[in-house]
Amino acid sequence: MSDEILSFDEAMAKYDPVLGFEVHVELNTKTKMFDDAPNAFGDEPNTNITPVSLGLPGVLPKVNGTAVESAIKLGLALGCDIAPVSHFARKNYFYPDTPKNFQTSQYDEPIAENGSVDIELEDGTQFTVEIERAHMEEDAGKLSHKGGAGRIQGAEYSLVDYNRSGVPLIEIVTRPIRGAGERAPELAKAYVKAIREIVKNLGISDARMERGNVRCDANVSLSPKGSETLGTRTETKNVNSMRAVERAVRYEICRHAAVLDAGEQIVQETRHWHEDTRETTSGRPKSDADDYRYFPEPDLVPVVTNAEWIERLRAELPEPPAERRRRLQADWGYSDEEFRDVVNAGVMTEIEETIAAGASASVARKWWMGEISRLAKVREIDPGDLGASPETVVELDGLIQEGKINDKIARQVLEHVVDGEGTPGEVVEKRGLAVVSDEGELSSAVDDALASMPDVAEKIRGGKVQAAGAVVGQVMKATRGQADAARVRELILEKLGVEG
Amino acid sequence: MTAITRDQVAHLAALAHIEMDETELESMSSELDGIVGAVQSVSAAPIDDVPPTSHPLPLSNAFREDVVGETLTNDEALNNAPDAEDGQFKVPAILDED
Amino acid sequence: MTTNQNALITLSASEAAEGLRNGDFTSEQLTQAHLDRIETTEGTAVDAEDRSLGKTGLNAFLHVNAEQALDDARQVDADRAAGKQLPPLAGVPIAVKDLIVTTGQPTTAASRMLEGWMSPYDATVVQKIREARLPILGKTNLDEFAMGSSTEHSAFGCTRNPWDLDRIPGGSGGGSAAAVSAFQAPLALGTDTGGSIRQPASVTGSVGVKPTYGSVSRYGVIAMASSLDQVGPVTRTVRDAAALHEVIGGYDARDSTSINEPAGPYLAEAEKGATEGGLKGLKIGVVKELTGDGFQSGVSQRFQESLELLRAAGAEIVEVSTPHFDHALGAYYLIMASEVSSNLAKYDGVRFGLRKLPEEGPVTIERVMSATRAAGFGPEAKRRIILGTYALSAGYYDAYYGSAQKVRTLVQRDFTNAFEQVDVLVSPTSPTTAFKLGEKTDDPVSMYLNDIATIPTNLAGVPAISVPAGLAPENGLPVGVQFMAPVKEDARLYRVGAGLEAALQQQWGGGLLDQLPDTESLIAARTQGSAK
């Protein structure tokens, strides 16, 4: 069977996609789910571990109370019912990144069930995704494959780092999502974005996809157009950016359609997304090895909730994102279109913080939607991850207001700031990027320019004030853009005795 | 009574990651058959409408404060490892070559 | 009766502690006396190249920790000489079942899987005995991962019963029971999942207690079946068991199943029970389902005599019925094996312990794990892992594991009903006296039946004690009587156990172990016998 794919339009003409997502969110607790090793990213391998994280003989797990509260908060934010009694269970399977060769998870009694998330697509279309459950579990360690191409296939051996083993996870599982039609890939992206926004807003996860804080497994199946019959589904793993989720879903839809069109069967299997080739490849088929033999974790006792506890946590919940958006748009006075652009660019929180740091709503928007977004796009990262802080924007704007730099220089300063050269003030200082404000120097530059273009000077004297632009250009060129253009224009007119 | 077959034992041994040769598979299936015969009366007990018990005591909510404790050093972690490299546990290839 | 009578080793722990306090001898002398006894009774390796063949003598110890024990003893002596305040049992040595992890000496669980493994941490109970200043003599033998009723499933050779070296010392804690009954150690720690403390105590003439589930920390105790395992004392007197229970009991934040209440007092209850009329007003229920058919005649006879003594001591004896105990054995084996199959998954040759490469074919991690587990686990461990895998697998869960959990509820209800009628329950600890080595190794089911009287308490989490009740007339081997109490009422066990012990000892004119044959002579005779 080939990996031929059908075009998306052809696929959509014949089939209705049904989606489903399992999103894993790593919590930002200080310690792991079941032991007091640090939950930290990027440390030396096998240093954030205790005997418990290594699953040494004799150890016992102990639940992180903060992680449970995070799970309840997330459940509440997703509109779920919080279980009065919920149990941990063991999911048994052998894999070297799993120290006990079982994952402690939840099975038939998860902490939260039956919720929904309202999703807004980029054009403002609303969609409701139903949540089946959210449950607590632990992350696995990290494998790196050596030899071959560093991939699991063909590797000579692998190294295991258990720092991540036991990091608290919440897995959010949707019910099957039907009716998205051709918007399915877009919906996939918007769903992950919404979950990311919710957990970030709750403060329970750093939600950095590039670090694997939010990971998505996307289930795709196709039904013949108009039919209720569910097709065989595949589960695509390792989809770790919002863009990738959209692409992977689109790819799988096209691939399924081609397989079905050829009269063949979809194999129920796990597939892996490859960002480089933008394809999925076959993982292992579902088999007997998926008999996980779940049973109640005997080393842990149930989590029992009560109304008082749940209501206390509910009271701690921040404003829900949708309400917050309505409030912010009204406060900032942005048009619907402007605000949607801001939301889609993912810079709403940044703008909010920039305004809080002292910038006006329009200045904040100008920067975050303008130069910062442009630079982020060039560098293929999210604007929020570029390294421009609200304080950077406020300081840049202040420098412009004071006349120390102009817009053009400010854009250069920003680039140096995000490259880590310091604050805007420091960059201006170090690189000598300030506007030339020495009147003597400016004056002689204007004299030189006028002398070099006598015919233009004559035109201006004759009343064609707009011709001054050419002289300004000449002066700016001579000062390598560091002159204040408005002041240069004033000087030209002054020298030629013309009213501006 | 369901007899435990050699193939069933082979499947269970694969799930449990225990290599077994033919002799072992045969002897294990007859032993297991005897044991299962002795224990399967549980399903004949009067258990309709009886809730399951997984913990001997009705304890709940045993939580830990989210405070970092003592960790193992990298040396302590790898001290008992059958094989290690660069501060990590070294394991043979995960997949077969093909 | 010569070498068994060394003055220091025959002292109970309480007497030894008294002697230390009075300055009659030092902890170093006391510890050395026990190390000497270990030296003369352990025997020598049958084959220096092959540990699996065990030793010519008791083989109760897998590791003897002589130097560290003597260092600790000397430190206690120094502190005592300096007038420091010391805990009550300070300086009295103890042996620890090799299922409990210890720093500074190996922990093997009697498995090839863990041979040479050094734990980087101490179990909570080990921390507690260190804080109580008990020098650790070493680690005692057991059935591999505590799975068995005879210690024959140890990867390092069976332990022998000091009453008859060709018989089993019980299991899984045969090493601890043999060590205590043969005066190698005054105290030992055991673990009890289905009787592993009580049955060995019963067949060796020692005292063993399985505390209430959750009353002694399991942190650092290598898990066999997490919802059933419990650590407890192995001693020669009820009073010593109570004293040791006070040392090891209590809440541990590292164990989620730990009861957040202080342990004890138990010692005071033991003293109360041993005094004249100490059992007055106590109502004892004889478990109908755990008497009669299937119990060896000498066991039944000593049991009935014990009931008479209890009655004479002021207790009221009635019969109670626990109708669902008939299903308990099946439920126990399914639940235990299910948990075993998961708890033993971590032994895979990746992070610690044995790694074995496949003999042929590609070396993938999958195949290394399977080869490691094939080589590292003995037959009984494999049987239970496979049984548990079966009981939990898709299509069988409801019929096996699921049903077993429901039977567990019924067994708990039986106890609840019984304890509405009586204060404690009583039964023989084991249906038979010690059987011969090798007698049941080929018949797992008959081996399992040996646990019939001890497993209901593990299913329900209730505490139980086994107290020596004399020797069976037909073979002169020890018989044990088991008392069971409601959850968290361990104190009642010490009261009734001490009451029976006092009555019996009055009859015997001393402890049952005073009648133990001279161990060194037995070993010598056996060695000569096999040399012929």
Which of A96, A293, A294 is opposite residue C365, by nearest beta carbon?
Answer: A96
A neighbour chains, 3+ CB pairs within 8 Å: B, C
Q: How far does C132 lie from chain A, in Å, by closest CA?
A: 22
Tell me if B94 and A159 make a contact (CB, 8 A cut-off).
no
Residue B2 lies in a domain: yes
Residue A1 lies in a domain: no
Interface test mutation site (partner B, options C390, C397, C451, C484, max chain B beta carbons within 10 A): C390
Residue A3 lies in a domain: no
List, for residues C107-146, the tens digit of each pLDDT value.
Answer: 999 999 999 999 999 999 999 999 999 999 999 999 999 9
Final residue belonging to a domain, choices A431, A455, A478: A431
Q: What is the pLDDT of residue C77?
A: 98
Interface test mutation site (partner C, options A293, A294, A300, A301, max chain C beta carbons within 10 A): A293
Chain B residue numbers with beta carbons less than 8 Å from the beta carbon of C404 are 39, 42
Q: What is the mean pLDDT of chain C?
A: 95
List, for residues C496-519, the tens digit of each pLDDT value.
Answer: 999 999 999 999 999 999 999 999
pLDDT at C182 over 70: yes
CB atoms within 10 A of CB A299: 23
Question: Nearest 5°: phi and psi at C293?
Answer: -55, 140
B26 lies in which domain range?
Answer: 1-45
pLDDT class of A4 with cuts at 50, 70, 90: low
Over residues C437-441, the mean pLDDT reads 90
Write down the catalytic residue from C14, C27, C97, C258: C97
Residue C527, chain B, CB below 8 Å: the answer is no
Over residues C198-211, the mean pLDDT reads 98
Based on the fold, state whether residues A103 and A20 are members of the same structural domain: yes
DSSP structure class, residue C352: S
Q: How far does A36 lie from chain C, in Å, by closest CA?
A: 10
Q: How far does C147 lie from chain B, in Å, by closest CA?
A: 15
Residue C1, chain B, CB below 8 Å: the answer is no
Q: Which of residues 122-181 of C touch B (CB under 8 A)?
A: none
Residue B39, chain A, CB below 8 Å: the answer is no
pLDDT class of C531 with cuts at 50, 70, 90: low
* ipTM attached to this prediction: 0.96
- Give just the sign of the alpha carbon dihedral A34, C391, C101, C350: negative
Based on the fold, state whether residues A308 and A323 are members of the same structural domain: no
Q: Are strands C94-97 and C187-191 parallel, antiparallel or unpaired?
A: parallel
Based on the fold, state whether residues A36 and A54 are members of the same structural domain: yes
Based on the fold, state whether residues A457 and A395 are members of the same structural domain: no
Residue B25 lies in a domain: yes
Q: What is the pLDDT of residue A460?
A: 87
pLDDT at B47 over 50: yes
The residue in chain A having the minimum alpha-carbon distance to the alpha carbon of residue B87 is A45
Q: What is the pLDDT of residue C532?
A: 45
Chain B residue numbers with beta carbons less than 8 Å from the beta carbon of A47 are 71, 73-74, 77, 87
Q: What is the mean pLDDT of chain A?
A: 91
Label residue B51 exposed, middle or buried (CB < 10 Å: 0-12, 13-18, 19+).
exposed
pLDDT at A468 over 90: no
Residue A234, chain B, CB below 8 Å: the answer is no
Over residues C249-264, the mean pLDDT reads 94
The residue in chain C having the minimum alpha-carbon distance to the alpha carbon of residue A162 is C351
Q: What is the pLDDT of residue C274?
A: 95
Q: How far does B48 lie from chain C, in Å, by closest CA?
A: 9
A472 lies in which domain range?
Answer: 439-496
The residue in chain C having the minimum alpha-carbon distance to the alpha carbon of residue A303 is C256
Per the structure block, which two tokens stand in for C262?
Answer: 């202080």
Question: Which CATH number do you get for residue B32?
Answer: 1.10.20.60
Based on the fold, state whether residues A24 and A42 are members of the same structural domain: yes
Tell me if B87 and A45 make a contact (CB, 8 A cut-off).
yes
Interface test mutation site (partner A, options B19, B60, B66, B97, max chain A beta carbons within 10 A): B66
Residue A201 lies in a domain: yes
Residue B56, chain A, CB below 8 Å: the answer is no
Q: What is the pLDDT of residue C2?
A: 42
Q: Which of A74, A435, A381 is nearest to A241 (CA)?
A: A381
Residue type, A361: A
Q: What is the pLDDT of residue A325?
A: 86
Q: What is the dihedral of CA C108, C112, C117, C119, to 10 degrees?
A: -30
List, for residues C292-325, the tens digit of each pLDDT value.
Answer: 888 999 999 999 999 999 999 999 999 999 999 9
Instruction: Decide: C292 and C431 in contact? Cβ < 8 Å.
Output: no
Question: Which CATH number do you get for residue A447?
Answer: 1.10.10
pLDDT class of C163 with cuts at 50, 70, 90: very high
The residue in chain A having the minimum alpha-carbon distance to the alpha carbon of residue C347 is A100
Q: What is the pLDDT of residue A343?
A: 87
List, for residues A113-151, the tens digit of each pLDDT value.
Answer: 999 999 988 887 889 999 999 999 999 999 999 987 777
Based on the fold, state whether residues A175 and A108 are members of the same structural domain: yes
Over residues C200-214, the mean pLDDT reads 98
Residue B20 lies in a domain: yes
Residue B76, chain A, CB below 8 Å: the answer is no
How far apart CA A59 and CA A66 sit, in angstroms, is: 21
Residue with tokens 């968290």: C488
Residue with tokens 């494998």: A143
Tell me if A101 and C257 make a contact (CB, 8 A cut-off).
no
Residue C20: helix, strand or coil by DSSP?
Answer: helix
Least confident of A326-330, A394-398, C1-5, C24-28: C1-5
pLDDT class of A1 with cuts at 50, 70, 90: very low
Based on the fold, state whether residues A51 and A133 are members of the same structural domain: yes
Higher pLDDT among residues A210 and C153, named by residue: C153
Chain C residue numbers with beta carbons less than 8 Å from the beta carbon of A58 are 100-101, 107, 119, 121, 123, 219-223
Based on the fold, state whether residues A252 and A182 are members of the same structural domain: yes
Final residue belonging to a domain, choices A431, A459, A480: A431
Residue with tokens 């007091």: A36
> Structurally, how many domains does chain A consist of?
3
One-letter-per-residue 3-state SS of chain A: CCCCCCCHHHHHHHEEEEEEEEEEEECCCCECCCCCCECCCCCCCCCCCCCCCCCCCCCCCCEEHHHHHHHHHHHHHCCCEECCEECCEEEECCCCCCCCCEEEECCCCCCEEEEEEEEECCCCCEEEEEEEEEEEEECCCEEEEECCCCCCCCCCEEEEECCCCCCEEEEEEECCECCCHHHHHHHHHHHHHHHHHHHHHHCCCCCCHHHCCEEEEEEEEEEECCCCCCCCCEEEEEECCHHHHHHHHHHHHHHHHHHHHCCCCCCCEEEEEECCCCEEEEEEECCHHHCCCCEECCCCCCEECCHHHHHHHHHHCCCCHHHHHHHHHHHHCCCHHHHHHHHHHCCHHHHHHHHHCCCCHHHHHHHHHHHHHHHHHHCCCCHHHCCCCHHHHHHHHHHHHCCCCCHHHHHHHHHHHHCCCCCHHHHHHHHCCCCECCHHHHHHHHHHHHHHCHHHHHHHHCCCHHHHHHHHHHHHHHCCCCECHHHHHHHHHHHHCCCC
> Structurally, how many domains does chain B consist of?
1
DSSP structure class, residue C310: H
Which of B11, B69, B85 is opposite residue A288, by nearest beta carbon?
Answer: B11
**Strand arrangement, sheet containing C478-484:** C61-64, C136-140, C94-97, C187-191, C231-235, C207-210, C464-471, C478-484, C424-428, C283-287, C316-320
Phi-psi domain of A45 (left: phi exceeds 0; alpha: psi -120 through 50; beta: other) = beta
How far apart CA A272 and CA A253 sit, in angstroms, is: 14
Higher pLDDT among residues A80 and A488, named by residue: A80
Q: How far does A196 lie from chain B, in Å, by closest CA?
A: 23
The size of the B-C interface in CB pairs under 8 A is: 181
Label residue B39 exposed, middle or buried (CB < 10 Å: 0-12, 13-18, 19+).
buried
Based on the fold, state whether residues A185 and A119 are members of the same structural domain: yes
The residue in chain C having the minimum alpha-carbon distance to the alpha carbon of residue B83 is C350
Which of C364, C408, C445 is opposite residue B38, by nearest beta carbon?
Answer: C445
Q: What is the pLDDT of residue B12?
A: 96
Residue C97: helix, strand or coil by DSSP?
Answer: strand
pLDDT at A183 over 50: yes
Over residues A39-51, the mean pLDDT reads 96
Chain C residue numbers with beta carbons less than 8 Å from the beta carbon of B28 are 382-383, 386
Going along chain C from its start, the domains and CATH numbers come out as: 3-277+462-531 (3.90.1300.10)
Question: Nearest 5°: phi and psi at C178?
Answer: -65, -40
Final residue belonging to a domain, choices A280, A312, A344: A312
The residue in chain B having the minimum alpha-carbon distance to the alpha carbon of residue A159 is B90
Least confident of A431-440, B38-47, C189-198, C326-335: A431-440
Q: What is the pLDDT of residue A288?
A: 58
Q: Which of C507, C496, C510 is nearest to C270 (CA)?
A: C496
pLDDT class of C40 with cuts at 50, 70, 90: very high
Write down the catalytic residue from C150, C154, C172, C215: C172
Which of B71, B88, B89 is opposite residue A48, by nearest beta carbon?
Answer: B71
Chain C residue numbers with beta carbons less than 8 Å from the beta carbon of A301 are 256-257
Tell me if C386 and B13 make a contact (CB, 8 A cut-off).
yes
Q: What is the pLDDT of residue A2?
A: 46
Which of A64, A158, A303 is opposite residue B66, by nearest beta carbon?
Answer: A64
Q: What is the pLDDT of residue A16?
A: 94
Residue C401, chain A, CB below 8 Å: the answer is yes
pLDDT at C364 over 50: yes
Based on the fold, state whether residues A283 and A337 are members of the same structural domain: no
The size of the A-B interface in CB pairs under 8 A is: 131
Q: Which of residues 424-463 of A touch B (CB under 8 A)?
A: none
Q: What is the pLDDT of residue C469?
A: 98
Q: What is the pLDDT of residue A477?
A: 85
The pLDDT > 70 percentage for chain A reads: 97
Higher pLDDT among residues A155 and B15, named by residue: B15
Q: What is the pLDDT of residue C224?
A: 97
Residue B57 lies in a domain: no
C172 is catalytic: yes
List, for residues A270-322, the tens digit of each pLDDT value.
Answer: 999 988 899 998 887 666 567 999 999 999 999 999 999 999 999 999 988 77
Tell me if B63 and A63 make a contact (CB, 8 A cut-off).
yes
Write down the catalytic residue from C150, C196, C300, C341: C196
The residue in chain A having the minimum alpha-carbon distance to the alpha carbon of residue C224 is A58
